[in-house]
Amino acid sequence: MPVFQENLFAGKVAFFTGGTSGIGQATVRKFVDEGDDVMIAARREEKGRSIAASLDGHADFIRTDVRHEDQIARAVEATVHCFGRIDCLFNNAGEVKGDGPVDAVTPAAYTLLSETLLASVVYGTQHAAHVMRA
């Protein structure tokens, strides 16, 4: 029977894209509860700062538009400056605009959705992996 190792990530540093609502916010809180330090890279500054402040020094926030590589690079650098390293990347940023039938999706909404979902993963992975390899 496999043995479950509790607190597998305890004492690690996690870099989150997104993290100010929904699954991301819940996961940020879970990581901190498990003993991790977390950097939240997201657009919603007031919400991000509030979440980080509520986590007793185990989280920080940097305003980041994850569609822009330079902002992801800056957020990764800030994580290393604040916590000394990155052990875990959690690509969580997402964007959903509007509701209704698919034929109502505008080109602008589609572009925002695809850029947010894809750019955050590609740029986040590129920059965090560079730090994590070291």
Average pLDDT over residues 85-105: 83
Q: Which residue, 116, 46, 37, 115, is CA-closest to 78?
A: 37
Average pLDDT over residues 32-52: 96
| Distance of alpha carbon 58 from alpha carbon 39, whole angstroms | 9
Max intra-chain CA distance, the chain: 51
Helix (H) or strand (E) holding 73, with range, is helix 69-83
pTM of this prediction? 0.87
| Distance of alpha carbon 71 from alpha carbon 63, whole angstroms | 8
Average pLDDT over residues 42-46: 95
**Within 13 Å, how many C-alpha atoms sit on residue 39's CB side?**
26
On whether the CB atoms of residues 24 and 16 are closer than 8 A, the answer is: yes
**pLDDT band for position 97 (50/70/90)?**
low
Share of the chain above pLDDT 90, in %: 70
Q: What is the structure's pLDDT at 35?
A: 93
